[in-house]
Structures are given as structure tokens and as C-alpha cells.
Amino acid sequence: MNSPYISPDSHRGRSSSFLRTLSGAFLFSLGLSFAFLPGGAFAQSAPISGEKPPKLVVPGAPITYFDGDRQIDLVLALDEVAVEAPEGTDVSSLARRATSAPIERVEKLSGRGVHRVRFQQQPDRTTLEQRAAELAAGIPKAKAFAVLFDPTAHKRAPEQAKLLTNQLAVKVKPGISVEDLARAHNLRVIEKVSYSSDTYILEARRTGLFEALDAANTIHSWGVAEFATPLLRKQQQRKLVPNDPLFSRQWHLQNTGSNPGVTGLVAGNDVNVVGAWDSYLGNGINIAIVDDGLQVAHPDLAPNARTDIDIDINYGDNDPSPDIAGDDHGTACAGVAAARGNNAIGVSGSAPQAGLVGVRLISAAATDAQEAQGLTHQLTAANPADRVSIYSNSWGPADDGATLEGPGSLARAALQNGVTNGRGGLGAIYTWAGGNGGTGDNANYDGYANSRYTIAVAASGGAGEQSSYSESGSCIVINAPSNYFGGGITTVDRTGSAGYEDPPGDYTYTFGGTSSATPLAAGCIALLLQAYPSLTYRDVLDILIRSATQNSPSDTSWFTNGAGLKFSHKFGFGRINVASALATAASHTPMPLETTPLTGGETLSTPVAIPDNNATGITRTTTISGPSNFKVEYVTVDVVITHPYRGDLEMFLTSPSGANSKIATTRSDSGDNYNHWVFTSVAHWGENPNGTWSFKVADRYSGDVGSLSSWTLTIYGHLENPATVGEWMLY
């Protein structure tokens, strides 16, 4: 009688007496078979029913085994094996001598002495086993293991690796002899477990990579066991909760619903970061705190402070430490972003081991040139470890509802240069406070937050609601928790008698505003960049947009744009969610290069009057006929309007899908005219731009009249799945 399964790489004999003993004890599963796969790897094939095989995301070959009746699908990495050797063994050098196969790199896995050996090419299964045998023979006391991944583990991170051992667990059915079963598969019984009846740990006698897997699958197919499962070594993730004594008050990091010192919390309204700290702490990512100073000697900041690359632009030296009363803001911001966590003192930042670079810029009045200097400080440092990846900016023009101001020519050029040349050409990240003017102002009147090169951050409270001071705007990308009616943000304060707190202390419990939301987002982004360092700044934007949490979902400000993304002028695309961002990044397709913008609008030979105190206003339209695969990112409207009290005006931009951006709101701004002010909207992200766009201007208060002279629509984006020729993108 033949076995229903023959190993692809061997013809092991089966015990005829054993099979005769079992002849009535099992059924063949005629719909199941085992087959070679491309490259020599194997898996159990699907029943012959025309079923489509599962899509592989990880490069390699599918592997299947069973946990009871539950099928487990993994992917075998064909270009690597894991090697376990005694601690202190120079695995890298010995591996290169042990095999002639070209090795790409050797890196540490979890546990003592365990390394992954990555080859430059993917072999077939037989060759992979040969390479593993060579490594095991050439490295003293070494063992080699096949490396498996979940099919969705796109990046094959070390912590996602599963090592296939030469052992399996079997629970035999009544009347089945485990000893006979072991002999039939060239196994030995090494343990009868005490916590489950008729359950054994078996071990392969041979050293091949797949002996235990082969045996487990065959035993399962014979139906002689309740389960037959290969044993995999996998790293379980620690659930780190920092030991910082004030961490329990940091509801913005972990909102339990009952954090001390605040009221009105609803559990879960936080940035969902704690679980990510098991893997990422911001190591290797430098965050510039562009502000009024950074107290580098603060005990909770000093471990992360990059005092070797700080700068004080206001006072012309390299020490950003504040020495003027009231210069407390930057230090508190730095604590929110990257106070040293898990050091048994104070608080934790959202990126508790990121580098902090102090850029003192707003302690005194600064020029456009100085702003540009601050926004490019350490942008292209020769040593990548000294480059700034993220610039956190919790400052801007006055939030008085009457100021229309933005970066000058140099600062605008600096921002564009930063997203082009920063991070080795991937683009630096600029987080920017959306503003604290509440309903009396709008982020679109702040030219820094309104720039398409920055990530404008709004603020939300402990129940997910919009913080009362947080400005709305079509340029708001995301929001992050900050102070609200129920309490503030706990972060570092200048030590001693300086700082916010009275009586003095080294920490403050009342920090807030979009000033706090912005460095919180910066720290969250640092974790994302540590996990996925090849992300461009546009990739980061796309990931944040697609992974954000829709906080306060019943708020009427939410709408769905033409790409199916939910947007709110209060909240942007939602509250930043670190765990979700990391998961989204794992399967994120890199953004294609930005393509030539599409333009529309009109310059009117005769300005069109805007009816006074009339909600209907005037509406102008333009038709866009671009490539069918164009996907919108940012949209801008350059406006020229003559009006003696521009705060009377509100403006709307509506895309072909019907998504409506409110790009200007009424406010107490008695200034004259809009002279080529550029309003920005991110609300149309992902839409197809083709069709009719409409631009509406309405004057909502009586007594002053004006006219529209021109409006220029510019649509920035990319071509989805652009054709390629060699290295060139076809646009």
C-alpha cells in the first residue's frame, strides 16, 4: 500500500507492517495532493476545483500546514536561512566562508546567536537546503532553519520572521501508536506532554530544513491525528508601557478613559502609539524643534538632545537653551515629541528615543532668511545620522482673525527645497500647527499651514471633539490630541523657577493648543520613518491620510470625497493613528513621481461684481481634461479680488465629484483685497480631476462691495500606474 504523500526531495520508505496496522484507521483525502511549486518549493495544493491560488505578497513560495483542521498559509523565503550559533560566534564571516553562494547581508534576529543570512539570489528548494547544510557544517555548533513569513508581511521585518524547526507536535487518535508513526517518518519521540492526552513532541532524525513540516502534513493527510503541526519559533512582541511616573497622565498617548488630572475622557481617543513602542522608538530619526529654544539639559530631554548639531539663530551661537523669561514653549514641545521614555522619570514623548535638534528661531524677531535657515538646518548634512528628518513648527502669524500672512520668498523656497532634497532626496517632513484662532480664524489664512509642503495639524480633545481653539481649514491634513475643556497635556517644563508651572516644577500639566498637537504628530511620524525609512514625504502624507481615525464621526463636518476618503474641515482626514499608519505603510505602494500639474480658472477682462450681503454670490466654472489616470493630491486656488473688507467673503471650491472645499471663511479681517493669495485644499486627495470645477465667492455682510478679477486653479498630483521605459516615467 503506498503512502498518500511522497516527499518531493526524497523517497523515504514506509513501514508496511505499520501501514497494515493502520489500514482501517484512516481515510485518504482524495481532493488533497502535494505538488512542486515554481523554484522547487512546495505546498499542499488546493482541491482540483479551479480555485485560484492565494496571492503572494512576500517574495518566495507558499507553505501550508494545519493546526487541527485550520489551514495555515505562510511564505517560504527562498533567499535566506536563519542560523543559530553560540553567542559570540562571528556568523557573518564564517557564513561567507562556509558557502560559495553570494551573500547579500547577515543580520541579527531576536534571541541570542540567531542571525538571518540573506543571499543575493533566490534558489530553488533543493539549493536552499544545500546552502543551509553548508552553513550548518561550516559554522561550529550551528543549526540552520528555513525562514517563513505571513503572506502579508510585505517588508519581511526581522521581528516578523518565523523559524521552521525540526520538531512537530502530534496528538494521535485512539488506537494509533505514536512510536510506529514516528518510525514511519524517521522521527523520534522526545516528549509526552503532561497538559494534553496522547500528545507528543517529535523530532526529525535528519537535518533537512523541511523534515518536520513534511511529516506533519503527511500525518495530517492520513487522518490518524487530532493535529499534527510543525513547531515554529516566532518572536512574540512585548507590550511596553513606560515606567515614567507621569505617563498615566499622558492621555494623549494612552487614553484609558480615567487618566488622572483630566475629565471628560473617552477611552481610545489617543494616537494609538503604545503598541508600536515594542518595535519602534524613533531611533535614528532627528526631529528639529523650531521654536523659542530647547532646554537641552533637562533630565528628560538630555538623553535625546543632539547638542552637537543644535543652533540658536536668534542669538548667533549653537546653544538653543532658553535664557529669557517666557521662552518655555519649545521645551514643552520637545517633551511632547521626544522626551526620553521608560527612564523612570517624568514623561514620555511619542518618539521616546528620537533625536532632538534645537533650532532657536522665534525667541526674537527673525528675517525671511533666518526662517529659511531654520527650515533647512541640517537638511543635507554629509553624515546621514546628522540630518534632520522632521521639522516641528508650532508657530506662525497671529491667530487674531485679521492677519493674512505667510512665508516669504526664501522660506517658501526653503520648504520646497526641503521636501525635494531632504532625507537624501526622499523629502523632509514639516509638521505645522493649524492655529489657535478657533472659529474666529481659519488655517487657510496662515500661509505656513496653508502650504502644500507642510502637514497642517489640528487639535482634538479627550472625547475626540474639536478643541475649541483649533482652527478649521481645507488645508488641515490630520489632527492630534491636545488640551480641551477637561484638561491639558502633561509634558516637560523648564526646570526650577522657569517655565509654565506655578509653583515651579520640571513638568507642566497644562500645555496645549495646536502647538502641542504638532510635535505629537512629529514624534508619531518619526516612528513611521524608523520603520520604513525609504518613504518619501508624499508617501508619508498618503499613509497618514489613509490610516487616520475618524474621530467624532457624528460631527456634521465630515463628508466623503470622490476617492472615497472621509474629510472634515475641522479634523482633516482624522486623528493620527500610529498603529494604523504602520500597518498601512506595510502594504503601501510608493507614490509615483509628481507629474505636471493641471491648471484651470480664468483671468477676467472685466472684473465680475460680487453681490453684497448675498449668500448665493457668484460661481465660476472651469473644465479639466487631463490624463484619465491622474490622481489629485493638493489643489490650490490663486485669487485676485478687490474688496475693502475681505473678511466679509467666503469661498468654496467644488470638484467634479461634488466634494466641496470651504477655502475661505468670514472673519473680522478689515484688510483690503486678495492679491494673489493662494488657498490650498487637501480635501480632494485621490480624486480624478477631470470634469467641471466650480469656484464660488459670496459676500456675507453688507456695507462693502468688491469684484473678482481672476482665479487660477492648479491641481497637483500623480499618474496612477504610469507607463515606464527603462528608468524613465512616461507622463
Residue 64, CA distances (Å) to 41, 394, 500 in order: 11, 52, 60
* Angle ∠(302,304,309) on CA atoms, nearest 5: 95
Q: Residue 284 corresponds to which amino acid?
A: G
Q: DSSP states of 133-200 as a string?
A: HHHHHHSTT-EEEEEEE-TT-TT--GGG-EEEEEEEEEEEPTT--HHHHHHHTTEEEEEE-SSSTTEE
3-state DSSP percent of the chain in helix, strand and coil, to 5: 20, 30, 50
Q: Which of 115, 298, 329, 569 is catalytic?
A: 329
Phi, psi of 230 (to 5 degrees): -65, 150
What is the Cα–Cα distance from 475 to 442, expressed in whole angstroms?
10
Task: Give the contacts of 553 (CB within 8 A, at least 6 positions apart).
Answer: none
The single residue listed with the C-alpha cell 494509533 is 176
Q: Which three cell numbers stand for residue 714?
A: 492648479
The answer to whether the peptide bond before residue 503 is cis (omega within 30 degrees of 0) is yes
Determine whether 291 is an active site residue: yes
Are 434 and 443 in contact by the 8 Å Cβ rule? The answer is: yes
Which residues, in sequence order, are bridge partners of residue 117? 81, 106
Say how far apart CA 515 and CA 333 lie, in whole Å.
Answer: 7
CA distance 330 to 393: 9
Q: Are 312 and 458 in contact (CB under 8 A)?
A: no
* Phi/psi-derived region of residue 700, left when phi > 0, alpha when psi is between -120 and 50, beta in every other case: alpha
Catalytic option among 221, 348, 451, 515: 515
Cα–Cα separations (whole angstroms), residue 708 to 31, 569, 617, 704, 705: 73, 25, 11, 14, 11
Q: Could you confirm whether 329 is annotated as catalytic?
A: yes
Residues 6 or more apart in contact with residue 59 via CB below 8 angstroms: 75, 77, 78, 79, 122
Tally of CB atoms within 10 A around 134: 18
Residue 291: is it exposed, middle or buried by C-beta count within 10 angstroms (0-12/13-18/19+)?
buried
CB atoms within 10 A of CB 247: 19
Options 79, 214, 291, 493, the catalytic residue: 291
Q: Is-contact 542 632, C-beta < 8 A?
A: no
Active site residues: 291, 329, 515
